[in-house]
């Protein structure tokens, strides 16, 4: 028999392991995966009463599913939100939050610094349905004030923003938006619920791409929308269930298990990001480093006020534009080139040619996304390996020979397949099973000539930032345990 739920408020690390769990009659330890599209009823009357709402019973996995409900309960507990709905992707979460609330004739104000697809929804999709949209510089309160002189129904903002890590003052903008009659929707992907709780500052709705830190291991897509019980049940839920934005129970289960280590992962990644940001500031190849917890960040004071750490991403602009950025990325041996983020593996992105390539060039310029800008998602590798990798790649930009990148999979294939065959095959290929082959170690970069001071200093600073603590005061809410949807 399962123990009763505790009455004590639980801290985030505990919520991430325990929040939302519903045990079946088998009393399993791990959350069960209910990989089912539908559910059966004892009799016709029970089916009828389920549909009228008199009886609490799952109907169909597009409307609700026990595994998905556990994920929603865990996320709501962590966020301190009354309700949550999980979605198949982060974009389904953003789209659902916006389209469920808006109608023709409404007006939306958005911070200009948004992820590419969110930018497209505001600039292109909403106007097609007769919804007026306006972008403002999210850091400029005067622009927000001017935009709110006319009625407005919804505000969308991202803080820190993708990719240049600009912040929006959540409290000030929420107060202004509410006075204008708008709800505030915050895309909190970059901060995660551990570092920033937008609802504490007045936001009404928070959206996530669960693809990022929540899974955090590069396996599945997912998303989530959190808000008041009334808004979620009356506005969001009818839209999601009737338009089909339902997450697969399998993906929900993977994310649930990913959440159990979110706290540890984000804490370690933030520490490393801090160290790397400091190391980058000392390199002459770099024009500017963007990291909210660097005192040089123009909104450092705001970052300290609304975030409990600087986050897991560091963006920086290389002198020498696109050529320098590409040379740097190609010279990295540990960090992968990928447009994803929040993963255990560190990843580097060139936003101007990937995630933000569809944002018009002049808009990109306004957002500060220069051709030399790169976004680094800091993973869980040893920070010293990351610092070494970045330093060596920067050396390559400044003229020292670039170490050649050799992905591990291809090295295994090349060394275990006869040369003629290897050349004919598309790489990467799996190692043949013939003999137990020891995967070749990643080729070490050529020792960097004239050791740069930065890594050494960074190591010293790593010790200073090691005490970074993301533990927060206990959340007031109990884990959601209700079965009713």
Site for ligand PLP, rule CB under 6 A? 89-91, 94, 115, 118, 158, 162, 187, 189, 209, 211, 221, 223
Q: How far is the CB of 241 from ligand PLP (least distance, A)?
A: 19
Which residue in the block uniquely carries the two structure tokens 């990843």?
347
Q: For residues 70 and 207, which CB has a smaller minimum distance to ligand PLP in the complex?
A: 207
Q: For residues 49 and 339, which CB has a smaller minimum distance to ligand PLP in the complex?
A: 339
Largest CA distance in the chain: 80
- Residues in Cβ contact with 257 at an 8 Å cutoff, skipping those fewer than 6 apart: 30, 31
Q: How far is the CB of 80 from ligand PLP (least distance, A)?
A: 21
Distance CA 219, CA 212 (A): 10
Q: For residues 160 and 403, which CB has a smaller minimum distance to ligand PLP in the complex?
A: 160
How far from the centroid of its chain's Cα atoms is residue 94's Cα?
Answer: 13
The helix-helix angle for 383-397 and 262-281 (nearest 10°) equals: 30
Q: For residues 88 and 455, which CB has a smaller minimum distance to ligand PLP in the complex?
A: 88
Q: How far is the CB of 175 from ligand PLP (least distance, A)?
A: 23
Q: How far is the CB of 63 from ligand PLP (least distance, A)?
A: 22
Strand ordering across the sheet containing 286-290: 286-290, 313-318, 373-377, 347-349, 336-337
DSSP letter, residue 296 = T
* Cα atoms found within 13 Å of the Cα of residue 184, Cβ hemisphere only: 28
Q: Are 127 and 156 in contact (CB under 8 A)?
A: no
Q: How far is the CB of 45 from ligand PLP (least distance, A)?
A: 41
Structure tokens at 125: 């999709």
Distance CA 115, CA 348 (A): 16
Tell me the residue number closest to ligand PLP, measured at CB.
90
Q: For residues 221 and 225, which CB has a smaller minimum distance to ligand PLP in the complex?
A: 221
Q: Do the bridges between strand 83-87 and strand 107-111 make them parallel or antiparallel, or are there none, so unpaired?
A: unpaired
Q: How far is the CB of 261 from ligand PLP (least distance, A)?
A: 19
Q: Are 206 and 192 in contact (CB under 8 A)?
A: no
Q: For residues 144 and 208, which CB has a smaller minimum distance to ligand PLP in the complex?
A: 208
Q: For residues 94 and 98, which CB has a smaller minimum distance to ligand PLP in the complex?
A: 94
Q: For residues 57 and 119, which CB has a smaller minimum distance to ligand PLP in the complex?
A: 119
Q: For residues 224 and 334, which CB has a smaller minimum distance to ligand PLP in the complex?
A: 224
End-to-end CA distance of the chain: 24
Closest CA to 442 of 411, 419, 401, 402: 411
Q: For residues 159 and 416, which CB has a smaller minimum distance to ligand PLP in the complex?
A: 159
Distance CA 190, CA 355 (A): 15
Distance CA 311, CA 292 (A): 8
DSSP SS3 for 280? helix
Distance CA 385, CA 171 (A): 39
Q: How far is the CB of 373 from ligand PLP (least distance, A)?
A: 15
Burial tier of 355 (Cβ tally within 10 Å: 0-12, 13-18, 19+): buried
Q: How far is the CB of 339 from ligand PLP (least distance, A)?
A: 7
Distance CA 146, CA 156 (A): 16
Q: For residues 14 and 123, which CB has a smaller minimum distance to ligand PLP in the complex?
A: 123
What residues are paired with 135 via a beta bridge? 110
Distance CA 252, CA 68 (A): 5
Q: How far is the CB of 310 from ligand PLP (least distance, A)?
A: 16
Q: How far is the CB of 192 from ligand PLP (least distance, A)?
A: 11
Q: For residues 91 and 393, which CB has a smaller minimum distance to ligand PLP in the complex?
A: 91
Distance CA 183, CA 190 (A): 21
Q: How far is the CB of 92 from ligand PLP (least distance, A)?
A: 7
Q: How far is the CB of 207 from ligand PLP (least distance, A)?
A: 7
């Amino acid at each position: 028999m399962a123990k009763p739920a505790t009455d004590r408020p639980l801290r985030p690390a505990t919520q991430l392991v325990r929040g939302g769990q519903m045990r079946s009659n088998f009393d399993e330890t791990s959350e069960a995966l209910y990989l089912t599209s539908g559910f059966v009823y004892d009799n016709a009357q029970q089916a009828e009463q389920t549909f009228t709402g008199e009886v609490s019973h799952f109907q169909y996995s597009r409307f609700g599913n026990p595994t998905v409900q556990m994920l929603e309960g865990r996320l709501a507990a962590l966020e301190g939100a009354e309700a949550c709905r999980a979605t198949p992707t982060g974009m389904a979460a953003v789209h659902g939050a916006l389209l469920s609330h808006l109608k023709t004739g409404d007006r939306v104000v958005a911070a200009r610094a948004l992820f590419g697809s969110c930018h497209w929804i505001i600039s292109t999709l909403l106007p097609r349905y007769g919804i007026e949209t306006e972008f403002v510089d999210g850091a400029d309160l005067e622009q927000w004030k001017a935009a709110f002189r006319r009625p407005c129904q919804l505000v969308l903002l991202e803080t820190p923003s993708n990719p240049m890590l600009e912040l929006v003052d959540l409290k000030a903008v929420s107060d202004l938006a509410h006075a204008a009659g708008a709800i505030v929707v915050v895309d909190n992907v970059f901060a995660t619920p551990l570092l920033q709780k937008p609802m504490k500052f007045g936001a009404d709705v928070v959206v996530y791409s669960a693809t990022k830190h929540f899974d955090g291991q590069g396996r599945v897509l997912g998303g989530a929308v959190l808000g008041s019980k009334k808004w979620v049940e009356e506005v969001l839920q009818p839209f999601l269930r009737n338009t089909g934005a339902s997450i697969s129970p399998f993906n929900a289960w993977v994310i649930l298990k990913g959440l159990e280590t979110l706290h540890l992962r984000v804490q370690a990644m933030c520490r490393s990001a801090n160290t790397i940001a400091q190391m980058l500031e000392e390199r002459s190849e770099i024009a500017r480093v963007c990291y909210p917890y660097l005192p040089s960040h123009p909104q450092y004071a705001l970052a300290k006020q609304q975030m409990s750490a600087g986050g897991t991403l560091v963006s920086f602009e290389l002198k020498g534009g696109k050529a320098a950025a590409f040379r740097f990325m190609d010279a990295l041996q540990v960090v992968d080139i990928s447009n994803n983020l929040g993963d255990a593996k560190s990843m580097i992105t060139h936003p101007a040619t990937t995630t933000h390539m569809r944002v018009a060039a002049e808009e990109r310029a306004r957002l500060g996304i220069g051709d030399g800008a790169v976004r680094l998602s800091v993973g869980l590798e040893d920070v010293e390996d990351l610092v070494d990798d970045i330093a060596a790649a920067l050396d390559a930009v400044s003229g020292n020979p670039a170490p050649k990148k050799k992905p591990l999979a291809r090295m295994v294939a090349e060394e275990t397949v006869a040369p003629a065959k290897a050349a004919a095959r598309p790489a990467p290929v799996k190692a043949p099973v013939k003999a137990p082959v020891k995967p070749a170690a990643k080729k070490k970069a050529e020792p960097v000539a004239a050791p740069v001071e930065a890594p050494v200093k960074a190591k010293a600073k790593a010790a200073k930032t090691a005490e970074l603590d993301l533990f927060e005061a206990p959340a007031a809410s109990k884990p959601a345990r209700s079965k009713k949807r």
